[in-house]
A and B are shown apart, each in its own frame.
Chain A
Amino acid sequence: MTQPSLFDVLLANWNYLIVIVLMMSGLFIVISRYNLVKKLVGLSIFQTSVFLFYISLAKVDGGTAPILTDDPSTIYSNPLPHVLILTAIVVGVATTALGLALVLRIHSAYGTIEEDEILAAKTAAMEPRYRRGDEAEADALAASEAKS
């Protein structure tokens, strides 16, 4: 029995390959994109890859959908991961919804949803740093800080 080649291994585990590709794409999008909505998209892709991971784990060779039939000799795919993933999908939906709500509020507060522009706005509000001893200036600065 010869050692299976890399190509054979990859072919046999094509589902995990897809999971990895999606996972890495999702993470990359989260990290590299500045647009807040795009980050959420990346997060969704990342989470979807995990769903696919679980579901592909659940598939039993020759197994059918895990719905009870009258035939006692039916082989079912494992239903538990399906249930777990339903839960995880719900959690993902809630996360995405909350994230989008936040993006909406950020847009109305900052006028933009590009992270680099937001960072620039934050730094602009922070300079010059508070200087010691100058109460009036610290006062004015604090007032503008509070608004930001």
Chain B
Amino acid sequence: MTLFAFFNNLPSLLVVVPLMMAPIAALIPISQLAWAATLLATAVSFIAAVLLHMLTGAGARVTYYLGNWAPPWGIEFVVDSATSFVLMVITALGFVVTLFARRSLASEINNGDLGKAYGAWLLAIGGLSGLVLTADAFNLFVFLEISALASITLIALGAGRVRRSLIAAYNYLIIGAVGATFYVIGVGFIYAMTGSLNMADLAERLPDVANSTVIYVGFGFMVAGILVKAAVFPVHIWLPSAYSYAPSAVSTLLAAIATKAAIYVLARIVFTIFAGVPDLTIAAMNWVIIPLSLAGIFTGTILAIYESDIKKLLAHSSVAQIGYITLGIGVATTQSLTASFIHIGNHALMKGGLFMAVGGFFYALGQRVTVYNIVGMGRRMPITATAFLICGLSLIGLPLTAGFISKLYLVRALLDDQALVIVGLVLLSSALSLIYLWKIVEVMWSNNPAYNDRDFTEQPALYIPLWMLAGANIWFGIDSSFIVKGAEAAARALGGGL
């Protein structure tokens, strides 16, 4: 009976299990138990996501009515190939980073607060899963805010080590709330014109009312709001501080999955809700998304080159990588969407690995990791440093790593679309990213190690999850069929672009 119920309610489990476990984890007094509860919840989520991925394999769509109320009056969760792909990424990374978090969070947050941290952790993961699952425009706002508030709490938990995390959290709160409210305004306009909130229903109704300014404005507000959460230039400014001052495990989690969910939502808005209004969406892609993506790519890369704090450097690099993903969405062909989804998966692996490695360095050093005190780390902490190198090479796009596959598909999609200038810019930024990565690599294996007085024993609890991700980078660089097939199915499910 329970197994039957389990299968029938798979989509909602992805949200309900973390949400239910969150207060439990928060109330457990023993932090190790709270961690175990969190791990259990993320494991269940991951299993559910895998099952859903198998179900949607042949292009099928899984729909789930919350409370058995049929849409368009009820709220439904819809899982198609695109959703299941992103869900796999979210839950898989959620699980691996939770493994990493036990030691890492314990060293950076007061023991008394750990339970509550895990509660917020689960709320964030559950919120992001719900964000991706929901097929109701307003429900999306709710999950947007759930995940945002949980993320803010997690970021602010870094205050024990560096008080600037409070400011970063506060700024994220203000900007994020403004963005979410913009999204609500947009939904309001759309609702006013169509009377519906369900995504599929909107897709049917919008073409009839498409020619009014109200729809244009509504679309604009919705997209603008989501761009804030997705950290697209120029509303990305909350990201560098937020990611660099948060606790290590939190940075890893957020960098790997938070913005990806928002980018997926952007794709949903453009390709599902407004599928019948191509004039509007094409104009938005060409005049807004593509230029902003390029701007983000270069801003992120150049700021990363000049940054000496490693976490901030990686955060700037994340802004650039998000630019690649949104560029693929902006070009809006099936091939470019495939490339975007491939990069959603690969970047989660890369950035997750990089931030985990930095978390390992932070654990050993006890102070902010910069290019000055990472000198000679290659020899002191070889396991962590080599994993950092692998993920870094993946970031540059060395062949036989996952990052190369992303770059390959993106450039191919752009060349197919004859966007030669954009190809040139993408490759230029890729070459530039070598500079900031090599800056770190050079220093790590140089001859004069800093700090002879600390204990640099590497903790298996920290480097095993790290090597899971680094190994995945190599595996998916050699045999990328799983990610590529999933991404192709995702792109097709989104309607194959415009």
Contact = CB atoms under 8 A, between A and B. Distances in A.
B362 to A, nearest CB: 10
Interface string A5-31: 000000000000000000000010010
Contacts of B138: 84, 87
B204 to A, nearest CB: 18
User: Chain B interface secondary structure, helix, strand, loop or mixed?
Assistant: helix
B177 A43 contact: yes
Contact of B367 (A57, A98, A146): A146
Interface string B153-187: 10010010111101101100110011011001100
B156 A102 contact: yes
Contacts of A145: 162, 367-368
B210 to A, nearest CB: 19
A88 B191 contact: no
Contacts of A99: 170, 173-174
Given A43-B178, A81-B191, A130 B308 contact: yes
A60 interface: no
Nearest to A110: B163
Contact of B162 (A27, A91, A110, A148): A148
B178 A30 contact: yes
Given A47-B177, A84-B138, A95 B166 contact: no
A143 interface: yes
Interface size classification for chain B: 35 or more
Interface stretch (B57-65, B82-90, B141-149): B141-149
Contacts of A147: 163
Contacts of B185: 50, 53
A135 B450 contact: yes
A132 B164 CA distance: 24
Contacts of A95: 145, 149, 173, 177
Nearest to B169: A102
Contacts of A81: 188, 191
A44 to B, nearest CB: 10
Nearest to A57: B192
A85 B490 CA distance: 33
Contacts of B192: 57
B32 interface: no
Scoring B153, B163, B373 by chain A CB atoms within 10 A of each residue's CB, the highest score goes to: B163
Given A98-B153, A132-B372, A146-B162, A118 B367 contact: no
Contacts of A132: 372
B145 A94 contact: yes
Interface in B110-142: 138, 141-142
Contacts of B308: 130
Contacts of A148: 162-164
A54 interface: yes
A121 to B, nearest CB: 9
A43 B138 CA distance: 20
Scoring B156, B161, B178 by chain A CB atoms within 10 A of each residue's CB, the highest score goes to: B178
Contacts of B368: 142, 145-146
B370 interface: yes
A98 B173 contact: yes
A102 B370 contact: no
Scoring A30, A91, A99 by chain B CB atoms within 10 A of each residue's CB, the highest score goes to: A91
A95 B150 CA distance: 10
A106 B370 contact: no
Interface string B176-209: 0110110011001001100001000000000000
Interface string B345-379: 00000000000000000000011101011000000
B174 A98 contact: no
A91 B141 CA distance: 9
Scoring A50, A81, A148 by chain B CB atoms within 10 A of each residue's CB, the highest score goes to: A50
B310 interface: no
A142 B178 contact: no
Interface string A91-130: 1001100110011011001100000001000100000001
A130 B370 contact: yes
A39 interface: yes
Interface in B385-419: none
Nearest to B172: A102
Contacts of A105: 156, 159, 166
Contacts of A53: 185, 188
A146 B161 contact: yes
A57 B197 CA distance: 14
B152 interface: yes
A92 B146 CA distance: 11
Nearest to B196: A80
A147 to B, nearest CB: 8
B181 A47 contact: yes
6 contacts: A88-B141, A99-B173, A99-B174, A102-B156, A130-B308, A130-B372
Given A30-B178, A87-B142, 9 more contacts: A47-B181, A91-B145, A95-B145, A102-B152, A105-B156, A105-B159, A130-B308, A132-B372, A146-B162
Interface of A: 27, 30, 36, 39-40, 43, 46-47, 50, 53-54, 57, 80-81, 84, 87-88, 91, 94-95, 98-99, 102-103, 105-106, 109-110, 118, 122, 130, 132, 135, 138-139, 142-143, 145-148
A-B residue pairs, 3 tightest by C-beta: A109-B163, A91-B145, A142-B367
